[in-house]
Amino acid sequence: MNVEHDPSPAPVDEPPVTMPAPAQFVGTFDDLDIPEGIRKGLAELGYTGPTPVQRTVFAPLRALKDVLVQSRTGSGKTTAFSLPTLCGVDVSRRHPQVLILCPTRELALQVTAETSRLGHPAGIRVATIYGGASMRAQIDALDSGVHVVVGTPGRVKDLHRQGVLRFSGIRFAVLDEADEMLSRGFWDEVTSILDQLPDAVDGVPRVTALFSATLPDQIERAAHKYLRDPVRCNLSVDTLNVATIRHVLHLENEKWPKPRNFLYVLEFHKPTSGIVFCNRKDETEMICNYLRRFGYRAEALNGDMPQSRRERTLAKVKAGELDLMVATDVAARGIDISDLGHVFNYDLPEHNEVYVHRVGRTGRIGKRGTAASLVRGKYLSHLSTLKKQFKVPFEEVPLPGEKEILWMQAERLAVQILEDASGVEMEQYRPVAEAMLARGDVKEIVAFLLRTHYSQGTQQRSRDDEGPPREARFDRGDRGDRIERPRRDRDDRHERGPRPERAPRAEGDAATPPHVEGGEHAAEHGHDEAEAELAPAAATNLYVTLGRADGVADLGALTKQLSEWSGVDSAHFTGAGEVRDHSAHLEVDTEVADKIIAAVHGRARAPRAADTATVPATPAAGGEAAVSAPEPRPIVCERAKSQPGDRRRGGFGRGGDRGGDRRGRGGRGGPRGRR
């Protein structure tokens, strides 16, 4: 179909840049004293030579000397401490000989994966222990006999206290991301563990290695106390990888809101994989939802997110299912993502050296990448420091005019929509589309359809945030789950249910159309759609008759109480829900819902003060009226009538303690119509 239109400007290409040759490895592994089994592990991992930090650290650790290492993210430090410590393991002794402490379970799993692959050909066994997972499985792993233990401080300390994890044979202790453990408040646990490790095993002094991106005073004090005459390896002080990273600077246009400025930065760079760094947790959610409205597959990552959602986000990142991860520095620390093309700074970091660690996630080990920063106001003063102290070769690149940027955006969205439309039967709509093009308000129609298209994709991703994908998956283009084309099965009838007037508060998206035919107006039933949560069937919405009147202050307090009563780990509570005066809704993993219900339903609880006031007076001896003591009211805990993802109700409403009228007034799930 040929349509006449005004010629539009061609997109503006990025200015060419000549980059230096990639950084080289330092020698080969043949130069190092490595047993044959470990060499096979290096070959299987595809490593051809040591990075500077790997070569620098190997000799002192192999010589059983303590080390204090400052090295930036992406320098290969996991192999730097794994390689020499594994070389010192006695495989014939089936007990822990190496203890590696990490601040997060994600980093612990990442270290385990690399250490296991490196040591497997030599017969070295590795176990991971961390909180929020089955302790029984971790105990079984330790009982089976392992040589290396990688874990988070809390769970390591718990298992040692229970006598399951014995420290008597620990020859090597490694603290990875030590400054991160300090910032997370783990330092008391870490030092407690170090205090209980043996000073020597079989007459050989224990070796301690401390790795940190930064060296604050507390780290220095700990090194002085726990390290014996350490070899200091400062590989990230006043240095920055400029060989493989292009550092681009964009000054903010004050005529546009900051999110729009940043959207235009993305349209200019066209990233296919990247991390967006924000200085505040609330910014990650806001920016993530804003970008979703314009078709980007983006997910937020911050410390306030439930662990289950963090893991799902990281799994999507590693599977290549996202364009962008929007994260804070703390949440992203220790996460290794290969082939990361771009790092974006929504704002420059508050501390200049953090810039080094952010941008070090791209351009790793010979690969090239781009670090783009949007700069405004107070952050302009950071530029001179970064240029002087870290020799950052910033390249200031002005963004094209708004007309050119909008053309880039239109081209990107058109490609996405055509990919989503691939294989879909549309012939019956073509005549209608041609007729619409003759209307004077066609721009408004297209704008609304775009908004609807990407709002729908945003809602599906919101559901995916709260649990694993449904078994029924749909045809996708290369862009993943932007738009879904459901089968006409009854089991999938909820997938394309009505969209609320406003998106869930948990996701904050404001790009949802005001009314969708085929569903009820929840507001007319007394609901507040801003409270709605969209989640998949893998999560279950529980209704429980406990609320603020029972002393339950918030959802966190309720989660803690139910976790104690049922014995269900708090990691199985997704963090979605609402506490009211006399009841609450909360969302849990479906696999543990029955266990929670069995433990809580019918449980006696202390009478409420309001109950005493409503008990009728009964005559007492002497003719005086007395108030009868109220009978204990058992707690009700059951599956809510309206589950997450339900067509008629997206989540947790305010239409009474039971979520309002669940039957509707326009027939079963039928529309009420416009009035």
| CATH number where 137 lies | 3.40.50.300
Average pLDDT over residues 260-284: 91
pLDDT number for residue 74: 62
Domain stops at, among 487, 514, 530: 530
Separation of first and last alpha carbons in the chain: 38
User: Do the strands 207-212 and 245-251 form a parallel or antiparallel pair, or are they unpaired?
Assistant: unpaired
- DSSP class of residue 227 equals S
Q: From the centroid of its chain, how far is CA 550?
A: 33
Average pLDDT over residues 59-66: 94
Q: What is the pTM of this model?
A: 0.47
Whether 154 is covered by a domain: the verdict is yes
Residues 396 and 460 in one domain: no
Residues 408 and 397 in one domain: no
| Dihedral pair phi/psi, residue 647, rounded to 5° | -60, -40
Residues 101 and 182 in one domain: yes
Percent of the chain with pLDDT over 90: 29
Residues 68 and 196 in one domain: yes
Question: Does residue 541 carry a pLDDT above 70?
Answer: yes
The Cβ of residue 179 has, within 10 Å, a number of other Cβ atoms equal to 20
pLDDT in tens, 290-345: 898 888 989 999 877 887 788 888 888 878 888 899 998 877 766 667 678 899 99
Write the DSSP string, 274-329: EEEEESSHHHHHHHHHHHHHTT--EEEE-TTS-HHHHHHHHHHHHTT--SEEEEEH
Whether 7 is covered by a domain: the verdict is no
Residues 286 and 173 in one domain: no
List the domain range (segments joined by +) for residue 549.
Answer: 536-639
Q: Higher-confidence residue: 659 or 623?
A: 623
Residue 236 pLDDT class (50, 70, 90 cuts): low
Residue 587 pLDDT class (50, 70, 90 cuts): confident
Provide the sign of the torsion angle of the four alpha carbons 162, 165, 168, 174, taken in this order: negative
CB 299 within 8 A of CB 331: no
Residues 138 and 160 in one domain: yes
| Dihedral pair phi/psi, residue 539, rounded to 5° | -115, 145
Tell me which of 50-59, 245-254, 575-584 is least confident: 575-584
Residues 552 and 423 in one domain: no
pLDDT in tens, 94-109: 999 999 999 888 889 8
Residue 364 pLDDT class (50, 70, 90 cuts): low
Whether 364 is covered by a domain: the verdict is yes
CATH of the domain at 544: 3.30.70
Q: From the centroid of its chain, how far is CA 211?
A: 24
Whether 371 is covered by a domain: the verdict is yes
Whether 611 is covered by a domain: the verdict is yes
Tallying the residues shown for the chain, one arrives at 675
pLDDT number for residue 607: 66
Residues 388 and 411 in one domain: no
- Mean pLDDT, the chain, rounded, equals 75
Whether 412 is covered by a domain: the verdict is yes
Whether 22 is covered by a domain: the verdict is no
Residues 148 and 196 in one domain: yes
Domain stops at, among 209, 234, 259: 234
Percent of the chain with pLDDT over 70: 70
Domain stops at, among 234, 266, 293: 234
Q: Higher-confidence residue: 31 or 205?
A: 205
Overall domain count for the chain: 4
Whether 120 is covered by a domain: the verdict is yes
Residue 530 pLDDT class (50, 70, 90 cuts): very low
Residues 411 and 422 in one domain: yes
Residues 608 and 468 in one domain: no
What is the C-alpha to C-alpha distance for residues 288 and 296, in angstroms, rounded to an integer?
A: 9
Residues 430 and 398 in one domain: no
pLDDT number for residue 422: 81
What is the C-alpha to C-alpha distance for residues 424 and 353, in angstroms, rounded to an integer?
A: 50
